[in-house]
Amino acid sequence: MTPSDIPSPPAAPAVPAPIPPVPAGRGAPLAAALEEEPADRVLRLVRDVPGVVDISPGPFGEVATYLPGRRVPGVRLREDRVEVHLVLSMDTAVPEVVALVREALRTETSLRIDVHIDDVVPIPPVADAAGATTRGPATPADPAPTSTT
């Protein structure tokens, strides 16, 4: 056998191959935006839903997605479902908010979406331009305090 008889290894591609898509139903449809972690994307989408005041980490702080060096509270990504725990404004209709949350997440995944309402809080007072305090809708930028019991 001579050196010319030994096949040379294949040349490395000049450009790395793209990451292949993961089959649907395996928890990966949420990974479409590679710059953003799926749990962070879920959190952002859910917080934008009207009536959602805050995300809840659960009664003992156990509901979260654990990432390297940090956790995303209130969002649990499982292989077969997406679970979110919410705090809603008292003036919202729970079924409507749940439907809006599912609709917002349905654009990102075909997995089952479990929505848990962990707390309902009163509408926080809002000051108008003249300084008068009125009741207004709660927003993520102006969350109402949650119970610590």
- Give the homologous superfamily in CATH for domain 25-122: Cation efflux protein, cytoplasmic domain (3.30.70.1350)
Domain positions in the chain = 25-122
DSSP bridge pairs for 114: 83
pTM of the predicted model, to two decimals? Answer: 0.61
pLDDT higher at 58 or 130:
58
102 CB burial (10 A radius; 0-12, 13-18, 19+): middle
CB 89 within 8 A of CB 51: yes
Q: For residue 34, is pLDDT > 70?
A: no
Tens of pLDDT, residue by residue over 63-80, are 999 999 999 999 999 999
Q: pLDDT at residue 95 above 60? A: yes
Q: What's the rounded mean pLDDT across residues 122-143?
A: 60
Cα–Cα distance measured from residue 118 to residue 58, given in angstroms and rounded to the nearest whole number: 7
For residues 30 and 41, is the Cβ–Cβ distance under 8 A?
yes
Q: Is the pLDDT of residue 82 over 70?
A: yes
